[in-house]
């Protein structure tokens, strides 16, 4: 995925399925370096499990 698409997903009100390493994630925000994003796993009680993901490794389903 590229940076512009991540920005579009973040500003969209639609539920867009994004995967990181084959796992569905929510994108929280783009990090200052512009190459990584903070994400967390989809699902109940998953909001505390945040991690950093390379934007190039995010995949839209």
Mean pLDDT throughout 45-57?
Answer: 83
Q: What is the mean pLDDT of residues 1-6?
A: 97
Q: Residue 27: pLDDT band by 50, 70, 90 thresholds?
A: very high
Average pLDDT, the chain: 92
- The pLDDT-based confidence of 49 (bands split at 50, 70, 90) is confident
Three-point CA angle 12, 17, 23, nearest 5°: 140
Q: Which helix (H) or strand (E) holds 10?
A: helix 3-11
What's the number of domains the chain is made of? 1
Is residue 7 scored above 90 in pLDDT? yes
Residue-range definition of the domain harbouring residue 43: 3-60
What is the pLDDT averaged over residues 46-56? 84
């Amino acid at each position: 995925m590229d940076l512009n698409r991540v920005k579009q997903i973040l500003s969209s009100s639609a539920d867009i399925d994004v995967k990181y390493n084959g796992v569905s994630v929510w994108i929280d925000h783009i990090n200052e370096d512009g190459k990584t994003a903070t994400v967390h796993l989809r699902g109940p009680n998953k909001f505390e499990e945040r991690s950093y993901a390379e934007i190039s490794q995010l995949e839209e389903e």
